[in-house]
A and B are shown apart, each in its own frame.
Chain A
Amino acid sequence: MPVTAATRHLDDRYQVTIVGAGPAGLAAAVAAREQGAERILLVDRDAEPGGILRQCIHSGFGLQAFSEDVTGPEYAHRFVERVLERDVDVLTDAYVTDVSRDLRVKLMSPSTGVTSVETGGVVLSTGARERTRAQIRIPGERPAGVMTAGLAQKMVNLHGYLPGQRVVILGSGDIGLIMARRLILEGVEVLGVFELLPHPSGLGRNVVQCLDDFGIPLHLSTTVIDIHGHDRVERVTVAPVDEERRPLTDQAWDIPCDTVLLSVGLIPDGELARQLHLSLDQRTGGPVVTSTYETSLPGVFSAGNNLHINDLADWVSQEANVAGAAAADVALGRVRARQDVAVTPGTNVRYVVPHTLSTDLTQTVSFRVKEPIYGDTILRVGEAHRRKVRAVVPAEMVTIKLGPKVLESFAGETLRVDAIPAAAADDLAAAGDDEQ
């Protein structure tokens, strides 16, 4: 059973073209096929499909998709097999440079040259990029040895090199936590993880299993304020921050090190979205979408980290299932579901995806909270849905499934999504003042 395939001869026309063969693109390809699309093109910039899963060698994948805990490469493998069984054209070492508004996809690869294909539907599944030093504005010198955690992960896990010998990690995102453990296992000294916020950005499981297990200190409300070294990183200055996140420089200290890894967040990779002038959501950095993840340009869909940053590949695949199937529907000329209910972030909710819902469908509403609530929490979608959960934290996305029955009486309305402490919700209810 081959697990990679490089298509050398492209058709002039595909029903669905999928840009990016990571967890989103692979799932979208399978779903588009299941939905009846026959000619599907899946394009990836790397030499083999799988995207970031190829370097995420740790476990924690597949609990939703396969009811089984597997590693990133295994998760990718299962999807790649499904894709190849379904006779999808997979074009690797290829890059989509442009999509026109009439859905001509311009791409380049050494095997096809510069060419373009017509397509009935496009799924943008290009994933995310990591925030860089410039974006978090660390002043200081510009030595070698400052890199994103994801780049270090690629060098260590795919190519077998180490980013340095004494490493400081800025940011407690999951990639940074996982790389802390990875580097310790490879004999590299990890001097600490520094997080600007008062709570970790990554999952609690990763804090325990990647840091605590190995005695790596996690410094919350602390950040790197200066990087020193003319040629290579020699040390960093770190300082605690006050409640407004301003560094308390009188409490700063220096840490000798040769490497700084940045795990300070992901941003949806929006080159194509910008080129297509899609409506964007400033909160997610991704496109505004319907409940089938169709963007403001009909026929163009977005799923996975290209749409908003997910914490589980399984969620990505679930979104892409919907997007891939809907792209096939559009390509095959089927009628779209109505999008007759709007959703918007309310109390303690950073963002909500999708932006509209359909009273025709059962759909998933995904959102992220602003502040953690450790204790009984009420999640509300307007008057349509109310649920109590044990806790919510920004690191873990919350999803709620809403069907036609729940939504039918709210057509034409905008539903606010709130996440509030149960006690506060009860107080509000008692006061009969549930709305703001």
Chain B
Amino acid sequence: MGEHRHTATIDAGESDTFAYLCTGCPLGCRLEVDVVDGDVIEVRGFSCKKGERYGAQEHTDPRRAVSTTVWLVGGPVERLPVRAAEPVPKDAVLSLVRELHGLEVHAPVEVGQTIATDVAGTGIDVIATRAVQPKEQLPVAG
């Protein structure tokens, strides 16, 4: 996974400044987050409180909604859409999705049904986002 576009100044012991683009609204504020020893000291460039919080969060613990698909047997299509039940640390997104590769789920499926637990050591479960009806004759698992 790529690094954020940060514009860090490499003065050890001094404050580093990281840049983020706020995604809260169309304004797209260019946030600057000052950090000393890993602690956010100041967020600049925001236009609202949400932006300020976003800047701090994006630096200290960026998280993402994650969705993907897994194999589906006995459904109208070949893939079952799933998502992480809660936001995933940005750095764990790729490993979480990759760990689901190869996974196969058999119909029937309910929306919200847990498909996998504690995926990639994140402690986060993955749940189905669509329902699949039982077929009158389920194909034999292969």
Contacts and interface: CB of A to CB of B under 8 A. Distances in A.
**Chains A and B directly touch (beta carbon < 8 Å):** yes
- Give the interface residue-count category, chain A: 35 or more
A59 B71 CA distance: 20
Given A2-B133, A57-B67, A374-B28, A204 B23 contact: yes
Contacts, number: 108
A185 interface: yes
Most chain A Cβ neighbours within 10 Å, of B26, B65, B129: B26
B22 to A, nearest CB: 8
A3 B131 contact: yes
Name the prevailing secondary structure of the B interface residues. loop
Interface in B18-50: 21, 23, 25-28, 47-48
B79 interface: yes
Interface stretch (A34-42, A101-109, A154-162, A347-355): A154-162
B114 interface: no
B26 to A, nearest CB: 4
A215 B2 contact: yes
Contacts of A185: 68, 93-94, 97-98
Nearest to A60: B65
B90 interface: yes
Interface stretch (A163-171, A338-346, A389-397, A399-407): A389-397
A4 interface: yes
A4 B75 CA distance: 12
B1 A391 contact: no
Contact of B64 (A48, A73, A209, A216): A209
A213 B23 contact: no
Name the prevailing secondary structure of the A interface residues. mixed
B136 interface: no
B59 interface: no
B139 interface: no
A77 B130 contact: yes
Interface residues of B, number: 35
A57 B76 contact: no
A205 interface: yes
A71 B27 contact: no
Contact of A160 (B76, B79, B83): B79
Interface in A196-217: 204-205, 207-209, 212-216
A391 B133 contact: no
B138 interface: no
Interface string A53-75: 01001111000000001111110
A208 B21 contact: yes
Interface in A385-427: 390-393, 395-396
B11 interface: no
A212 B19 CA distance: 12
Nearest to A59: B65
Given A208-B23, A213-B1, 5 more contacts: A4-B133, A73-B129, A160-B69, A391-B27, A391-B28
Interface of A: 1-4, 47-48, 54, 57-60, 69-74, 76-77, 156-160, 184-187, 204-205, 207-209, 212-216, 372, 374-375, 390-393, 395-396
- Shortest Cβ-Cβ A-B pairs, 3 listed: A215-B2, A391-B27, A73-B130
16 contacts: A2-B133, A3-B130, A54-B77, A57-B68, A76-B130, A157-B79, A158-B78, A159-B77, A159-B79, A160-B71, A160-B78, A184-B94, A185-B98, A212-B2, A214-B1, A390-B48
